[in-house]
Amino acid sequence: MGLTLTEKIIKEHIVDGEMKKGTEIGLRIDQTLTQDATGTMAYLQFEAMGVDRVKTEKSVAYIDHNTLQSGFENADDHRFIGSVAKKHGIWFSRPGNGICHQVHLERFGKPGKTLIGSDSHTPTGGGIGMLAMGAGGLDVAVAMGGGAYYITMPKVVKINLTGKLNDWVSAKDVILEVLRQLTVKGGVGKVMEYTGEGVKSLSVPERATITNMGAELGATTSIFPSDETTLQFLKAQGREEDYVPLSADPDAVYDEEVNIDLSKLVPLAACPHSPDNVKTVEEIGKIKIDQVCIGSCTNSSLQDMRKVAHILKGKTVHPDVSLAIAPGSKQVFNQIAEDGTLAILIAAGARILESACGPCIGMGQSPNSKGVSLRTFNRNFLGRSGTKDAQIYLVSPETAAVSALTGVFTDPRTVGNMPPYVMPEKFIINDNMVVPPASVEDAPNVEILRGPNIKPFPINKPLAENIESAVTLKVGDNITTDHIMPAGAKILPLRSNIPAISEYCFTVCDETFPKRAKEAGTSIIVGGVNYGQGSSREHAALAPLYLGVKAIICKSFARIHRQNLINNGILPLEFVNESDYDKVEQGDNLVIANIRSIVENGGQIIVEDKTKGFSFEVKCELSERGKGMMLAGGLLNYTKNN
């Protein structure tokens, strides 16, 4: 029986467990990446592990999220990460060099390798044929130290692409179509593997747009084969030697299949406030818009910038629209500066931003109140833009650019013929903003620069025998990490300071939560399906831990967040009967007896609702390693004990 591409890469990297679907496997990790908003914690955790030098083939620390520097905090974090990187064998991509995923694709990603990153959009690397996964900071720290990365052996979904995209319909519309069909929980436990003749017509950056936003499906990752197109891209990056051809065996067996005829796709948009709330641009109609933002790790390649420039050339942004554009990397920025693309964007009235995440994570460019903003990004969760009542739509660069001119939601197919995009034979290659690590001899002399905002992170205690606690918060379905631990310009600078950042925990849902949780001392949170979807931010576990949260009881969890809870010793419990969710109310006092023994030895977990006078069953499926972590009070304790 043939293997899928996913299985082939897993087979090459498996160090623990067997390739049996649904069971836990440990993978050797070739490359890691971190960004600054999760990186400070990851490196504090790496330091706590006491490993001198990373054991990976390549580890890169990027600065791209917290670049606003409206106080000393961000700059201090940058210096801290830069110094840790230098000391411990990590390459350091300085602020200004670009968004981690875009730069990694251009300069470091290699087909067939495994990559984990402390950012949920790490699957961008799947565009170049890597098995690239988002993970918690602690998982990345462990991988840097040479430890395996554990996942559930995924199901593999074949996404069979046929036909070719029509003019002005683009890769973004492909992934929006997949999201429309499968929803934000459709990818849980699965890898999306793209195959079929339609693959050939997609460039590497287009493939990366698709694998990037595959994160919104809740998927373990997404991957494209490595073919002639990959080779051309690597050649143009001066990295021909990194090429290996890779594809699934012709007789590979997939768990599911989705067929997409590219020629049938039309421009799509994800409507507020979820990436799977997808409609056609035509269907949405000519809504008046206030803002357009083009960029982010999803759509900021040279190809994207050139298409946008073609649309904007010789025209002016609509008087009621503010247009912001952030090229994804220094390479893209440099290239558009040299070839005249940038001049076109500036002349049209675009506000050019630095190569960073920027508005995607609420770092500036928040829309006006009740503003309608069209963004080429990947997430439109409530409040993420920094304006709570804004309406954020996720669209392709083509739809964004055309609409910026008309001032209303506009189908880009009205623009006329699309010029072909010809990838340069050689991109501008200049890695002068990537600082290499110190040599083994020099490393001991590198001083770690720690600013006053960097506070120690909380470490849990071993699991108690019984948990007795009130439900301090009850939330609904699809709660995102942006609900649990919001980002934005005000809060992101506190990423290295858990006591300070926890003051904002869950404030999107309930402003009083941090205060109430602290008063209660211990807490249980009740949630619906797909709890913790979205980002990989470990802060969505660390802040609750700091506030005394002992367990989350919900209908189901998102993958990375569940792992972050286990890594930090917070119990992830799931209702056995979903109807019990309706019976438990905020304020109820719950008792979970003998939980330590049950985690250790197995058995039914019964939760007693003392307030309502009834009991219900929950489950907590853990691997042996997961049990060890839960009992020890998290991964760090577990690693120390072992």
Positions annotated as catalytic residues are 64-65, 119, 379, 535, 537
Q: Which stretch binds ligand MIC (CB under 6 A): 89-97, 186-194, 394-402, 530-538?
A: 530-538
Q: State whether residue 505 is helix, strand or coil.
A: coil
Residue 543 near residue 572 (C-beta atoms within 8 A): no
Q: Which residues contact 73 (CB under 8 A, 6 or more apart)?
A: 66, 451, 453, 493, 494, 496, 497
Q: If binding is defined by CB under 6 A, does position 40 make contact with ligand MIC?
A: no
Measured from the CB atom, is 271 or 360 closer to ligand SF4? 360
Q: If binding is defined by CB under 6 A, does position 294 make contact with ligand SF4?
A: no
Give how far Cα 22 sits from Cα of 107, 153, 248, 536, Å.
Answer: 34, 5, 21, 21
Q: If binding is defined by CB under 6 A, does position 341 make contact with ligand SF4?
A: no
Among 184, 223, 246, 297, binds ligand SF4 (CB under 6 A): 297
Give how far Cα 419 sits from Cα of 168, 254, 316, 500, 507, Å.
Answer: 10, 37, 20, 51, 47
Among 73, 119, 193, 216, binds ligand MIC (CB under 6 A): 119
DSSP 8-state class, residue 456: P
Distance of alpha carbon 33 from alpha carbon 27, whole angstroms: 16
Q: If binding is defined by CB under 6 A, does position 119 make contact with ligand SF4?
A: yes
Neighbours of 418 (CB within 10 A): 18
Q: Which stretch binds ligand MIC (CB under 6 A): 103-111, 119-127, 332-340, 348-356?
A: 119-127
| Residues in 394-433 that interact with ligand MIC by CB under 6 A | none
Among 32, 45, 120, 410, binds ligand MIC (CB under 6 A): 120
Neighbours of 511 (CB within 10 A): 10
Cβ of residue 377: shortest distance to ligand SF4, in angstroms? 6
Among 296, 533, 563, 637, binds ligand SF4 (CB under 6 A): 296
DSSP H helices, 373-528, are 397-406, 481-484, 498-501, 513-520
Q: Which stretch binds ligand SF4 (CB under 6 A): 8-16, 133-141, 353-361, 412-420?
A: 353-361
Q: Which stretch binds ligand MIC (CB under 6 A): 115-123, 574-582, 591-599, 620-628?
A: 115-123
The secondary structure element, H or E, covering residue 151 is: strand 149-152
Q: Which residues contact 442 (CB under 8 A, 6 or more apart)?
A: none
Secondary structure, 3-state, 611-626: CCCEEEEEECCCCHHH
Q: State whether residue 228 is helix, strand or coil.
A: helix
Q: If binding is defined by CB under 6 A, does position 37 make contact with ligand MIC?
A: yes
Residue type, 143: A
Residue 535 near residue 541 (C-beta atoms within 8 A): no
Cβ of residue 173: shortest distance to ligand MIC, in angstroms? 21
Residue of 141, 114, 135, 150 lying closest to 55 (CA atoms): 141
| Residues in 468-507 that interact with ligand MIC by CB under 6 A | 487
Cβ of residue 281: shortest distance to ligand MIC, in angstroms? 24
Q: Which does 183 bind (CB under 5 to 8 A by kind): ligand SF4, ligand MIC, none?
A: none
Q: Which does 38 bind (CB under 5 to 8 A by kind): ligand MIC, ligand SF4, none?
A: ligand MIC
Residue type, 411: D
How far is CA 636 from its chain centroid? 23
Among 188, 268, 361, 471, binds ligand MIC (CB under 6 A): 361
Residue 293 CB-half CA count within 13 A: 32
Q: Which does 536 bind (CB under 5 to 8 A by kind): ligand SF4, ligand MIC, none?
A: ligand MIC
Query: Cis link prior to 273 (omega < 30° from 0)?
Result: yes
| Residues in 242-281 that interact with ligand SF4 by CB under 6 A | none
Q: If binding is defined by CB under 6 A, does position 274 make contact with ligand MIC?
A: no
Here the tokens at position 560 are 């990375």
The secondary structure element, H or E, covering residue 572 is: strand 571-575
Give how far Cα 490 sits from Cα of 66, 350, 355, 362, 481, Å.
Answer: 11, 25, 20, 9, 16
| Residues in 56-95 that interact with ligand MIC by CB under 6 A | 65
Measured from the CB atom, is 65 or 158 closer to ligand SF4? 65
DSSP 8-state class, residue 188: B
Cβ of residue 537: shortest distance to ligand MIC, in angstroms? 3
Q: If binding is defined by CB under 6 A, does position 121 make contact with ligand MIC?
A: yes
DSSP 8-state class, residue 557: B
Q: If binding is defined by CB under 6 A, does position 342 make contact with ligand SF4?
A: no
* Count of residues touching ligand SF4 (by CB under 6 A): 11
Cβ of residue 204: shortest distance to ligand MIC, in angstroms? 21
Q: If binding is defined by CB under 6 A, does position 38 make contact with ligand MIC?
A: yes
Measured from the CB atom, is 160 or 331 closer to ligand SF4? 331
Crossing angle of the two packed helices 204-213 and 302-312, in degrees rounded to 10:
100
Q: State whether residue 36 is helix, strand or coil.
A: helix
Cβ of residue 37: shortest distance to ligand MIC, in angstroms? 3
Q: If binding is defined by CB under 6 A, does position 360 make contact with ligand SF4?
A: yes
| Residues in 49-78 that interact with ligand SF4 by CB under 6 A | 65
Residue 76 near residue 39 (C-beta atoms within 8 A): no
- Which spans of this chain sit near ligand MIC (rule: CB under 6 A)? 37-38, 65, 119-121, 134, 361, 379, 487, 534-537
- Which spans of this chain sit near ligand SF4 (rule: CB under 6 A)? 65, 99, 119, 121, 296-297, 357, 360-361, 377-378
